[in-house]
Structure 1
C-alpha cells in the first residue's frame, strides 16, 4: 500500500501534503489535550508494532505492496482518528528514510490512506456497529474495512496519477487486501482484548463516553 516516490506527479503530491499539514495540525491539538504520561508510551508501542507489521510486504502488480495497516487499532484504542494520523506520519517517515518503503514525496498520500482514511473508517465503523453486533465483532469488521478501503483509496490515487488503470488497480489492491484484512481483524481483536484484560485504564472508552453510551 506504500506509494513510492515518482508514482504520483509532484503537483498531486503537493495537494496531499496540504491535506497532511491540516491533519497533523488537528492531530497535534488533539494530542496536547488528550495524551498523558500513560498513553504516550502506549502510542509508542503501537507505532513500533505497526512499523513491524507494515514491513512485512506482499508485492502487488504495478509496483505497490500489500500489508497489514493498523489504522483501526490505533483509532479505536484512543477513540480518535487523530491518533492514527500521528502514528502513521512518524512511522511512514521512518520507513521511507530508513528502508525506502514508500516515498517522501508521496508521504501525504500514504498518511492520507493509512492514517486519515484507515483511522476514520475504522473508528466510525466500530462506533456505528458496536451496539448492533457487539464490541469485538464490530472491532473485527472495522479493522477489515479500514484496511480494504485504504487499499482502494491507494488504487484511486495511483489511477489519478496515471500509474495504472483504475479497474485493474481496484481489483488487484482489493483482492489482496480483502484477505490481508482478515488477518488484521483477528490481530486487532486480540490486541484490544489483551489491553482490556491487563490495562483497561489505557483504553479511551473507559475514561469517557465517546458515542452516546460508551463502547460497551
Structure 2
C-alpha cells in the first residue's frame, strides 16, 4: 500500500501534503490535550508494532504492496484518528528515509490513506457497529474495513495519477487487502483484548 516516489505527480503530492499539514496541526492540539505520561509510551509501542507489521509486505500486480496497516487499532485504542495521524507520520517518514518503503514526495498521500482514511474508517465503523454487534465483532470488522478502504483509496489515487488502470488496480488492491484485512482484524482484536485485560486504564473508552 506504500506509494513510492514517482507514482504520483508532484502537483498532486502537494495537495496531499497540505492535507497532512492541516491534519498534523489538529493532531498536535489533540496530543497536548490528551496524551499524558501513561499514554505516550503506549503510542510509542503501537508505533513500533505498526512499523513491524507494515514491513512485512508482498508485491501486488497492478498495485503497490500488500500489508497490514494498524490505523484502526490506534484510532480505536485512543478513540481518536489524530493518534493514528501522529503515529503514521512518524513511521512512514522513517520507512521512506531509511528503508526505501514508500516515498518522501508521496508521504502526504500515504499518511492520508493509512492514517486519515484508515483511522476515520476504523473508528467510526467501530462506533457505528458497537451497539449492534458488540465490542469485539465491531473491532474486527472496523479493522478489516479500514484496511480494505485504505487500499482502494490508494489505487484510486494512482489511477488519477495515471500510474495504474483504475479497474484492474482497484480489483488487485481490494482482493489482496480483503484477505490481509482478516489477519489485521484478528490481531486488532487480540491487542485490544490484551489491553482491556491487563491495562484497561490505557483504553480511551475506560477513561472518558
Indicate the TM-score class for this superposition, using the shorter chain for normalisation.
over 0.9
TM-score, with normalisation over the residues of structure 1?
A: 0.96
Map of 1:14-163 to 2, 5 A cutoff?
14-62=14-62, 64-163=64-163
Q: Contact between 2:20 and 2:111, CA under 8 Å: does it hold in 1?
A: yes
Aligned counterpart, 2:7: 7
Alpha-carbon deviation of 1:145?
0.2
| Cα distance in 1 for residues equivalent to 2:134 and 2:168 | 36
Give structure 1 regions of 4+ aligned residues with deviation exceeding 4 angstroms: none
- Flag structure 1 segments of 5+ consecutive residues without an equivalent: 209-216
State yes or no: 1:186 paired with 2:189.
Answer: no
Q: Contact between 2:75 and 2:119, CA under 8 Å: does it hold in 1?
A: yes
Alpha-carbon deviation of 1:41?
0.2
Greater CA drift, 82-91 or 56-65: 56-65
| Cα distance in 1 for residues equivalent to 2:80 and 2:23 | 12
| Cα distance in 2 for residues equivalent to 1:125 and 1:64 | 26
Aligned counterpart, 1:211: none
The one-character-per-residue Cα deviations of 1:19-39 (angstroms, maximum 9, x if unpaired) are: 000001100000000000000
| Cα distance in 1 for residues equivalent to 2:140 and 2:204 | 18
| Cα distance in 2 for residues equivalent to 1:168 and 1:18 | 29
Aligned counterpart, 1:173: 173
Alpha-carbon deviation of 1:61?
1.5
Q: Contact between 2:63 and 2:164, CA under 8 Å: does it hold in 1?
A: no
Alpha-carbon deviation of 1:11?
0.2
Alpha-carbon deviation of 1:100?
0.5
Aligned counterpart, 1:201: 201
| Cα distance in 2 for residues equivalent to 1:81 and 1:155 | 22
| Cα distance in 2 for residues equivalent to 1:140 and 1:114 | 17
Count of matched residue positions in the alignment of Structure 1 and Structure 2 = 208
Q: Contact between 2:62 and 2:172, CA under 8 Å: does it hold in 1?
A: no
Alpha-carbon deviation of 1:63?
5.5
Aligned counterpart, 1:212: none
Q: Aligned-pair RMSD on alpha carbons? A: 0.6
- Flag structure 2 segments of 5+ consecutive residues without an equivalent: none
| Cα distance in 1 for residues equivalent to 2:36 and 2:162 | 44
The one-character-per-residue Cα deviations of 1:153-174 (angstroms, maximum 9, x if unpaired) are: 0000000000011101110000
Q: Contact between 2:3 and 2:110, CA under 8 Å: does it hold in 1?
A: yes
| Cα distance in 1 for residues equivalent to 2:75 and 2:100 | 26
The one-character-per-residue Cα deviations of 1:101-125 (angstroms, maximum 9, x if unpaired) are: 0000000000000000000000000
